[in-house]
Amino acid sequence: MSFQTLGLGAELLRALSEAGYAEPTPIQAQAIPLVLEGRDLLAAAQTGTGKTAAFVLPILHRLASGHGHSPRALILVPTRELAAQVAESVDTYGRHLRLRSAVIFGGVGINPQIERLRRGVDLIVATPGRLLDHAKQRTVDLSGIETLVLDEADRMLDMGFIHDIRRLIGILPRQRQTLLFSATFSDPIRALAHNLLKQPATVEVTPRNTTAVQIAQRVHPVDKARKSALIAHLVHAGDWHQVLVFTRTKHGANRLADQLARAGIQTAAIHGNKSQNARTKALADFKSGQVRLLVATDIAARGIDIDRLPYVINHELPNVPEDYVHRIGRTGRAGSCGEAISLVSLDERPLLRDIQRLLRCDIPSSVIAGFEPGSAPLAGEQQTHPSPPRGRRPGQHPSPRSASDSVPGQRPRRSGNGRRPI
């Protein structure tokens, strides 16, 4: 299968070859011909599957072969970060086309956006709230929209955007193509799809609510109070870089980032209370490797696109089991392996049970030596230099594996004191 056979124009093929894309991913192979045909689409795909190109490429192809005075394609996304990333993809794939795009989101000045829209654009990537502001002020004309994409629709509903979305859809032409992408299919998503899509084609690349196979998952039981010390230990002992750590709250993200920074790990935090500039900078520093560990809340992390993110750590388990699937979908992209590690304290065991029920499998669990639940920190232990795992000979260099007692997929070797079945 090649991009040529999918029916994309020469300018797009050139941009793809320059981007180093050898062949389409499964979602692209399935979705691109359908979108080119003009079909409505209901697509089940997580971040990391290449879903963005699956809608951006055929949209650019269609825009390139037509004319219009007002914007003709609208891509709605849940977060500012995702808007910026999708816009980046539009620029990359559309670099040999003469198309103009605008990215519209809140938290930044509205005037440059107004100016950009006034000069005329073919395609808009937007978060719903700010676009609605433009529509109310009549600084955007949505009457010429031919294709609408709802990207990460499940998250848009979770974030309470349904009213904004409905209002926006109310001012779009009825005669249009609609594409709905979602990682999960809850009843509200099905209802939305039923209302919006006309005889949609369905494409699905990962089985519903199951995790991608190349992600090694493991659980480390540990006391709540020792979680940050355990993260510092794992990162130091395994010499991990590009580690994304999820916390449940903004406050928790800040606190953890401080603790890990004090442990000598270059750390940044992103969450909804940070300014857009601070978030953009943190993400750029993380991508470039200047920041080794990024602490994020679920919403802030949604849509972060980093190739081959090797490690995801759940500082706490998410309250909603589906969020676990979203979180660990950040790792092991593009066919490479990734590890998803969850630190689970006693009170989180019911959450773990729910997650395992959703996945229909048990996640291998092992206690890290020195971090046994119920064991008090060693007297005088510093969080920055936790004691090495037991059984390591002096002078022996730690490896990611020696930091833990088990290899993912295998049963833990040790069953010493303090190991609690999870």
Task: List residues near ligand AMP by CB under 6 A.
Answer: 21, 24-25, 28, 47-53, 305, 307, 333-334
Nearest partner of 83 among 302, 330, 316, judged by Cα: 302
Sign of CA dihedral 255, 257, 260, 264: negative
CA–CA gap between residue 83 and residue 24 (Å, rounded): 22
Encode 162-229 in three state secondary structure.
Answer: HHHHHHHHHCCCCCCEEEEEECCCCHHHHHHHHHHCCCCEEEECCCCCCCCCCEEEEEEECCHHHHHH
CA–CA gap between residue 4 and residue 57 (Å, rounded): 12
Nearest-approach distance from CB 397 to ligand AMP, in angstroms? 32
Nearer residue to ligand AMP within complex by CB, 16 or 369:
16
Nearest partner of 50 among 75, 81, 16, 100, judged by Cα: 16
Nearest-approach distance from CB 296 to ligand AMP, in angstroms? 16
Nearer residue to ligand AMP within complex by CB, 69 or 208:
208
Nearest-approach distance from CB 6 to ligand AMP, in angstroms? 11
Nearer residue to ligand AMP within complex by CB, 305 or 316:
305
Nearest-approach distance from CB 261 to ligand AMP, in angstroms? 28
Nearer residue to ligand AMP within complex by CB, 54 or 282:
54
Nearer residue to ligand AMP within complex by CB, 48 or 221:
48
Nearest-approach distance from CB 358 to ligand AMP, in angstroms? 21
Per-position b or e across 96-127, b if 16+ CB within 10 A of its CB: ebebebbbbbbebeeeebeebbeeebbbbbbb
386 to each of 34, 372, 381, 383, 422, how far by Cα in Å? 55, 13, 7, 6, 24
- Rg (the chain; Cα; Å): 23
Angle, nearest 10°, between helix axes 10-18 and 51-64?
Answer: 150
DSSP string, 366-383: -PPTT--TTPPPPTT--T
Nearer residue to ligand AMP within complex by CB, 168 or 212:
212
Nearest-approach distance from CB 82 to ligand AMP, in angstroms? 9
Nearer residue to ligand AMP within complex by CB, 35 or 363:
35
Nearest-approach distance from CB 294 to ligand AMP, in angstroms? 16
Nearer residue to ligand AMP within complex by CB, 33 or 400:
33
Per-position b or e across 145-168, b if 16+ CB within 10 A of its CB: bbbbbbbbbbbbbbbebeebbeeb
Nearest-approach distance from CB 132 to ligand AMP, in angstroms? 25
